[in-house]
Amino acid sequence: MADAVANTPDCVLFFESLQHRYSEQNRDYSVCFASEARHEFHAHDIIVLYGHSGSGKSTLLNLLGGLDCPAAGNLQVWWDVGSRPQNMSVPRDNRGLAHYRRRKISFLFQDGGLIEELDVLQNVMLPLRYASIPRNERRARCEQALERVGLKDMTNKSVSQLSGGERHRVGLARVIARQAEIVICDEPTAALDQATSELVRDILMGESRRGACIFIATHDPVLIDDDFADRFIHIKNGEAIVQHRLSTER
C-alpha cells in the first residue's frame, strides 16, 4: 500500500490500520488498531485514550511515541526536511526511532521517569540536551519550568529525596521546558492529590495552546471530559475508535 499523505497543513501526525503483534507460548497474538479511515491529529489537539485495563492504551502510546514500531499499517509525522516540511513515515529501525523521539516527542510518565543519579535540574535539562538545544537556552527554559511547577528552590536536590508528587512535578517541568511538538502521557494523574492533578491538567492545556499535539492514556474522569479533550480514542475489542465526543457507553 502506498503511503498516504495528510490533507491539512497543520497535521502533526496521522495513522491508519495500525497493528501491533506480540507472541506468547509459541502462539501469535495481536493487539490491533485497525481503521479503514485515516485519522489526522493536529497542533493544539488534546486526544484522550480510554478503555479497560489491558485494552491497549499504552501499546498505542508506545507506537505513537516511537517506543515501539507497528507490525503493519501507516504512521506518519510532519517533518522539517531542509526548507520544505513534508510527511514522512515514522522510522522502524532503532536509530531512526531514537532520532524521532529526540526531535519530536516529550513523555510524561506515571512515575516521572526520572534518573536517580541526576539532580532535579539535570533531569529536566537532559531531554533538551538530546534535542541539541543550546546550553544557555536549555538552562533558562528549565529554570523557568521548575518555577512554574513550584520547584524553583529544588534545582540541586537529588531526585531520591523527592516525594512522589514532587517527582511528578519534575516530569511536568521537563514537558514544559522541552516544548515538543508531540506530548505522550501515560496515566499522568494516577495516584496524585487533587492539587497536583489540577496542575497536570492546566499544564497540558497550556502545552496545547502553545501548539503541541497531546496524547493521554488515562482512567481519570477529570481528563476523560469533553471540556478538556478535543477528541477521544476508545480502545475496545482490539480496535481504536476515534471520536469527536465521548461515547455514552464507557
Secondary structure (H, E, C), the chain: CCCCCCCCCCEEEEEEEEEEEEEECCEEEEEEECCCCCEEEECCCEEEEECCCCCCHHHHHHHHCCCCCCCEEEEEEEEEECCEEEEEECCCCHHHHHHHHHHHEEEECCCCCCCCCCEHHHHHHHHHHHCCCCHHHHHHHHHHHHHHCCCHHHCCCEHHHCCHHHHHHHHHHHHHHHCCCEEEEECCCCCCCHHHHHHHHHHHHHHHHHCCEEEEECCCCCCCCCCCCCEEEEEECCEEEEECCCCCCC
In percent, the amount of the chain with pLDDT more than 90 equals: 45
**Nearest partner of 123 among 152, 157, 94, judged by Cα:** 157
Q: Are strands 46-50 and 231-236 parallel, antiparallel or unpaired?
A: parallel
The predicted pLDDT at position 27 comes to 56
Would you say residue 79 has pLDDT above 80?
no
For residue 24, pLDDT beyond 70: no
Specify the higher pLDDT residue, 191 or 116. 116
pLDDT band at 214 (very low <50, low <70, confident <90, very high): very high
Please report which confidence band the pLDDT of residue 242 belongs to, taking 50, 70 and 90 as the band edges. Answer: confident
For residue 18, the model assigns a pLDDT of 80
Q: Which of 176, 170, 123, 125 is nearest to 151 (CA)?
A: 170
Residue 1's pLDDT is 33
Judge whether residue 3 has pLDDT over 50: no
Mean pLDDT across 155-169: 92
Average pLDDT of span 12-41: 70
pLDDT at residue 90 greater than cutoff 90:
no
pLDDT of residue 29: 58
Most confident of 7-16, 87-96, 115-124: 115-124
Q: How do residues 168-210 score in pLDDT, each as one tens digit?
A: 999 999 999 999 999 999 999 988 888 889 999 999 999 999 9
Mean pLDDT of the chain: 84
Annotation: CATH topology of 43-68+93-243: Rossmann fold (3.40.50)
- Quote the pLDDT of residue 23: 64
Three cell numbers, residue 61: 502510546
Tell me how far the alpha carbon of residue 128 is from its chain's centroid: 16
Cα atoms found within 13 Å of the Cα of residue 38, Cβ hemisphere only: 13
On the question of pLDDT at 80 being above 80, the answer is no
Q: CA angle at residue 58 from 46 to 109, to 5 degrees?
A: 70
Q: What pLDDT is recorded for position 16? A: 82
- Give the pLDDT score at 81: 46
Residue 2's pLDDT band (cuts 50, 70, 90): very low
